[in-house]
A and B are shown apart, each in its own frame.
Chain A
Amino acid sequence: MQNVIEIDNLRKSFSVKIKGRKTIVEAVRGISFSVRSGEIFGFLGPNGAGKTTTLRMLTTLLPVDSGKAMICGYDLVRHAKEIRRHIGYVSQLGGADMEATGRENLLLQGRLYGMSRVDTEKRADELLDAFQLVEVADRIVRTYSGGQKRRLEIAMGMIHRPKVLFLDEPTIGLDPQNRANLWGQIRQLQKEGMTVFLTTHYLDEADILCDGVAIIDSGKIIVEGTPSELKKRISNDVIQIRLSRDKMQRARNLFEAISFINEIVVEGENIYLFVKDGAQVLPPIFELLNNNGLQMQSVTMTRPSLDDVFLKYTGRSLRDTKEWIA
């Protein structure tokens, strides 16, 4: 398969004023990755990691500081105009006209991409149907529910049959039902041959939906691969033990001496142990803690998720990073 996106050492920094002093913030610090044609690619990371900045560079909205990016075979710096013809982009804000109907939004969008009136009308009907918007098509967007508006905006983003569709946090703010529906619709796009590039901070979303994943943190790609590859790279099982904070350091010292624990990550009141066979090592771990008078509050053992991948590489849990919920 061919690569539709190839990024090499892309950088972007901003100059911001912090307490009256000019400071350079490096939002994206030399990232490289590629996306194959026809895949759903997840760009994963907490808020402020550089996801949206990267996306805005790739969609020609933000000039690149340095580095190279090829999108659909065009150079991002030199051929922004050609790239705009071949991509679709749905921002977090969406950006549908609130005072126009869904159908009007679709029709205008198609015409702006140079489609004929007849072609646009046909395509709009097709999309309204695919995204289950036929009933609300002639209502003003202001009256739409969150899920309806999001579906309309994704339909708008692909009215001109782009080769790559960029979605910035497509399921943010949607309830589980709507999220699951949207996943189905995104998979449908893939079946029609479209490449989908989406950012998300929901690990389960990337896990379920994406063929390829890159995890970004503080402007750097920390790991890249298919979800199953990434999970294989960490140990088979993750044991999460909850202890009070004052006991944490002692527990850590104890565990560090044990050979079957491959990796230890402490975060707040949780200690995570990456092990090969969780069921086998649980009894000796219990015993060890009991013998040393360390009372556990709870224990959970899980198959590794992408959250554990993130945890392993950053030392932080994405699940528990509070600021990204906002």
Chain B
Amino acid sequence: MKVVRETELFFMRRMIEQVRSPLWFFMGLINPLLYLVLFAPLLGGIPNVGRDGVADAFVPGLLALFALNSGTGIAWIVNNERTIGVIERFRVSPVSRLSLLLGNVLKDVVMFLITSLMVTVVSNFIGFHIHVLGLAVLFILLCLLTAIVSAACSGLGLIARDIGTIAAVVTGLQLPITLLSGVLLPISFGPTWLQVIAHFNPLYYVVEASRVLASGTLWNIKVFWAFTIMVLLLVVTISWATNIYRKAIS
């Protein structure tokens, strides 16, 4: 099929680009490792968690956070490509706009998988218990999250006037989404109003589900909600971003 073939071309283009600038790959890897080394030990002091459960409680959320961040970089790349005329060159050609977008999304998903598997292995050394099946389902969920962010950021990169705007939007959203997700500390520690707002945060459901899945339980209501929300958001962001690629942008 045309879309599949074109998506493969755009995906390979992105992967070659990625391989040629390995610095970004390492920077992406260093971030979660720093969390593991410099933040996870702090959790050991919290009574409810206990020193033994630190890794099991923290690593799933960390992976979710990592999935969120993995899709943001594309906004800068796309914006630069718009500036130097690359996007225009593609838009003059008969290629499907969807495949142009999916090339970006797939590359972010694959890069997330590679680096997050490495983080999982490292986490295993500091006491994270690996339940293979649960983790497999968890990674599917997290790939959806990366895809959502990547599609949204691919669209953002095209409509944002400059990289300053992108930085403002991305960091402006990243921080509240992270704080209200319960990655760093469980939301149940907080007051009621905080818990209420957290329920409007899609990442909250992913983090909740990720702890369930990482513990080896494959299915419960939390997992159901997380998948439902991710699939819906994926459909919305892909349609929105494809539409942006389709429309004329001066």
B-binding residues in A (CB < 8 A): 14, 56, 59-63, 81, 84-85, 87, 89, 91-100, 104, 108-109, 111-114, 156
Contacts and interface: CB of A to CB of B under 8 A. Distances in A.
Contacts of A63: 248
Q: Is the interface of A mostly helix, strand, loop or mixed?
A: loop
B48 to A, nearest CB: 49
A167 to B, nearest CB: 12
B20 A99 contact: yes
Contacts of B86: 95-97
Contacts of B9: 108, 111-112
A63 B91 CA distance: 13
Interface residues of B, number: 23
B85 A85 contact: no
Given A61-B248, A108-B9, A112-B9, A85 B88 contact: no
Interface string B89-127: 111111100000000000000000000000000000000
Contact of B85 (A95, A100, A108): A95
A84 B13 contact: no
A62 B92 CA distance: 10
Given A97-B13, A100-B16, A104-B16, A81 B84 contact: no
Interface of B: 2, 6, 9, 13, 16-17, 20-21, 83-95, 248, 250
Contact of B93 (A84, A97, A98, A100): A84
Nearest to A83: B94
Contacts of B248: 61-63
Contact of B17 (A14, A81, A99, A113): A99
A84 B92 contact: yes
A99 B90 contact: no
Name the 6 nearest CB pairs between A and B, nearest first.
A93-B85, A95-B85, A95-B89, A84-B94, A89-B92, A95-B86
Given A94-B84, A96-B86, A100-B13, 12 more contacts: A61-B91, A62-B248, A62-B250, A84-B94, A89-B89, A89-B92, A91-B85, A95-B84, A95-B85, A108-B13, A112-B6, A156-B89
Q: Is the interface of B mostly helix, strand, loop or mixed?
A: helix
Contacts of B89: 89, 91, 95-96, 109, 156
A296 B17 CA distance: 63
A156 B6 CA distance: 17
A94 B20 CA distance: 22
B85 to A, nearest CB: 3
Contacts of B84: 93-95, 98
A166 to B, nearest CB: 9
Nearest to B250: A62
Nearest to B83: A93
A61 to B, nearest CB: 6
A85 B94 contact: yes
A114 B94 contact: yes
Nearest to B91: A61
A56 B20 CA distance: 33
Given A62-B250, A99-B21, A113 B94 contact: yes
15 contacts: A14-B250, A63-B248, A84-B94, A89-B92, A91-B85, A91-B88, A92-B85, A97-B86, A98-B84, A100-B16, A100-B17, A104-B16, A109-B93, A112-B94, A112-B95
B90 A112 contact: yes
A251 B23 CA distance: 69
Contacts of B250: 14, 56, 62
**Residue in B16, B20, B88 whose Cβ sees the most chain A Cβ within 10 Å:** B88
Contacts of A156: 89
A164 to B, nearest CB: 12
A108 B8 CA distance: 11
A95 B94 contact: no
A133 to B, nearest CB: 18
Contacts of A114: 2, 94
